[in-house]
Structure 1
Amino acid sequence: MKATTLTDGPPEQHVLVFETGDEVVTGLTDWAAGNDLPGSSFTAIGAFSEATLGYYDLDEQEYAEIPVDGQVEVLTLAGDITLDGEGGWKVHGHVVCGRRDGSTVGGHLLRAVVRPTLEVVVTAGAAHLRRRHDPASGLALIDPAAKAG
């Protein structure tokens, strides 16, 4: 993955270009940690050679996996990057993938391998966002009142 800063802000904007074989969630997470990224949002387009998407089953409080085998276009990928409740980084993205026949599949991005490229624009805010565990849903939700410590 290659990265460059577009604007120093506020807000800061960065472009990340993933290459064939790069894994997206790990790459975004590692990049955010290495740059001490404040609360950020991102959008992306490109293509995957394979992916695993998820549909959150609220009753079971877990993701049902949706395997996406073979080449797909990333029609849209959008999400946020925040601090999790334990000081690590959490990438939360939703994606719609287009297949060769024009059909689509979408869901929560759990894992994806790029082929040939994925172009990501990250917009970084001025302050960190934190997630807190929500017992009712089982999810780590953004807590706007939480401050980075």
Structure 2
Amino acid sequence: MVALPEGFGSSLGRGIGAIVLYAIVGLVLMLLGFYAIDWTTPGKLSALVRDGKPNAVVVTASGMLSMAFIIVVAILFSSSDLAAGLITSVVYGLVGIVAQVLAVRTLEWVTKLDVGATITDDRFAPASVVVAAVHLALGMIVAVAISDFSTLFATAS
């Protein structure tokens, strides 16, 4: 017979509950991130992706990956207390999504890329790779900013 430590079941239950709650927070933030990208990008991304527009797929996939970087780091650097951790994950995730969208749109404006024409094109356009790279790079930058701020905040308190 295997002897488990005292309180093993309740610890396991709390852990499973925390995983489920963080998964829900992550899913909601990913959905918000998708809608933020969709709302700020010319054209209806979900329809363009369903229609198989290759550039819309590239831009949407990179946008979602960049949002995932931000959300994962927001969760990773959240408080060890479950309630505080969920709150900081949501706040850092939302701030990260806003920063990501604003930064990507600014870079697209500066580079003068016609994202609307690019994502609706039926043929692969190399410019979609540039937009994807901007999404991914800025997602990583925002994620590192979250981790740096979280570390500073943790040492200050």
Give the TM-score, by structure 1 length: 0.26
TM-score (norm 2): 0.25
Choose between structure 1 and 2: higher strand proportion. Answer: 1
Larger of the two Rg values belongs to structure: 2
